[in-house]
Structure 1
C-alpha cells in the first residue's frame, strides 16, 4: 500500500462543518436456553469517521474533490486525526509540550494500560483525550488510542503511571517510541461508495461528505 497522505497534505486542511469519529465494537452474540447472552469479539476494533465539509467556493471544493476522487479510485491511505477532541484540554495549542518529546515507556501485560515518559513536569491528560504512536517492523503502522482513565498526571520527572486506553495496544510496540498528543492520527482509507458529491449553486458548492475507516497496513 502507498504511503499515506500526511495531515498537512489532506485531512488538516479540510473545512469541516460536521464530523463523527468513533470506535465501533466488532462483536457477535448468542443466547443460551437459560437466557444468558454470550458475546465474542470477531475482528479488530478500527476507528471510523464521517466528515461533512462546509460550503465553499467552487474552486476550493473542486480542489478537495480532486483528492477525494484519487483516494477513492485507488484506495490509497491518508492520515486522519481524532476529532473533535484533538489536543489535551490542559494544553490545547501544544505550547506546553514545546521542547519535550513524550515517549511510550511501558505497556502492561493486559495490553490495556500504558505509561508515558518525557513529558513536562505535571503534564495532564483527561479521560477521552487521544494519543498516537507508530509500531511494528516493516511498513509503518499507526496506533491511535483514547484515554480511558479519569485522569493522568506526569510526575515532576515527566513520567506517568500506567493508565487505561482503548482499544487494546497491539503487538509490535517498543519502549522509547515517540507519542503524539497534538492531532494524534491513524492511517485511514475512504469507505467505497461513501462519498456524497457536492451540489453547486451560482456561487458556492455544498454537501460533500465521506466515510473513512482505519487501516492497520
Structure 2
C-alpha cells in the first residue's frame, strides 16, 4: 500500500519501543552582532526547530532489521510522525480529543485553550501539537502553568516556539500524545548491530523537525 508523507505512526514510530531514552531540544538559528559601544543584538535567521535524540533499546534481530530498512527508506527529506513514548502530561490527567485553540496573542507567543476537562491543570514543560495550513504540524511547549476553569477554558498561557502565521483559532490540539514530524538528516541514524543469539543493539536516531 502506498504511503503518504509524513509517514503515519504505524510505519515507524510504533516499532521503536522499547526506547531507552528520548531528549527533545529546541534548536535556534540566530546570529549575534555587537558594536564597539557595547551594544549587542540578535537576529533570527530561521524559525527554531525541535531536535529529538532517540536511543533505541535492544530487541529481536528481525525487529532491528526492519527498523534499519524503514529509516533507510526515509532518506534525508521524507518524514515520519513521532509520539514520544517517554512523555506524559505532568498532571497525569487525560485532556481528551475536544481541545481547541481559543485566542492567540498578537506576538504569537501565547494562546488560550477551550474544551479541556473542568479544572484541568497545565504545567510548564507540558507539550502539545496541532496542524495548520497545507497539512503542516506545529509542536510546542508550555512555559508557564495554568488551570482551566469550570467550563474547561484557560486564559492565555505562554508557549515556545511562537505559533506560525498559519495557525489560527479553532483547530484541535493534542495534549495527551502530541505529535512531531521528524526527518532524519544524513549521518543521524546509527543502525542496529546484530550479535550472536539473535539480538539487535546500539540503534539510535537524531531526528530534526520538519514543520
Q: Report 1:63-212 matches (<5 A).
A: 63-72=66-75, 75-82=77-84, 84=86, 86-91=87-92, 94=94, 97-98=95-96, 101-136=98-133, 139-149=134-144, 151-203=145-197, 204-212=199-207
The question of whether the paired residues in 1 share the 8 Å contact of 2:65 and 2:192 is answered with: no
Does 2:208 correspond to 1:213? yes
- Provide TM-score, normalisation by structure 2: 0.91
For residues 140-165 of structure 1, what are the alpha-carbon distances to aligned partners after superposition, in whole Å with 9 as ceiling and x for unaligned? 0111110011x111110110000000
Shift of 1:107: 0.4
2:22 to 19, 22, 28: 19
Count of residue pairs the alignment pairs up: 207
Helix, strand or coil for the counterpart of 2:63? Answer: helix
Helix, strand or coil for the counterpart of 1:127? Answer: coil
Q: Go from structure 1 to structure 2 and tell me whether the alpha carbon gap of 1:83 and 1:22 turns closer, same or farther (over 3 Å shift).
A: farther
For residues 95-126 of structure 1, what are the alpha-carbon distances to aligned partners after superposition, in whole Å with 9 as ceiling and x for unaligned? xx35x511111101111000000111001110
The question of whether the paired residues in 1 share the 8 Å contact of 2:194 and 2:200 is answered with: yes
- The aligned counterpart of 1:50 is 53
Shift of 1:82: 4.6
Measured in 1, the distance between the counterparts of 2:167 and 2:200 equals 44
The question of whether the paired residues in 1 share the 8 Å contact of 2:22 and 2:84 is answered with: no
For residues 159-213 of structure 1, what are the alpha-carbon distances to aligned partners after superposition, in whole Å with 9 as ceiling and x for unaligned? 0000000000111223221100012112121111211122221021211112111
Q: Identify unmatched segments of 5+ residues in structure 2.
A: none
Measured in 2, the distance between the counterparts of 1:45 and 1:159 equals 28
Q: CA RMSD in A?
A: 1.9
Measured in 1, the distance between the counterparts of 2:69 and 2:31 equals 39
- The aligned counterpart of 1:38 is 41
Measured in 2, the distance between the counterparts of 1:13 and 1:53 equals 10
Q: Identify unmatched segments of 5+ residues in structure 1.
A: none
- Provide TM-score, normalisation by structure 1: 0.88
The question of whether the paired residues in 2 share the 8 Å contact of 1:117 and 1:160 is answered with: yes
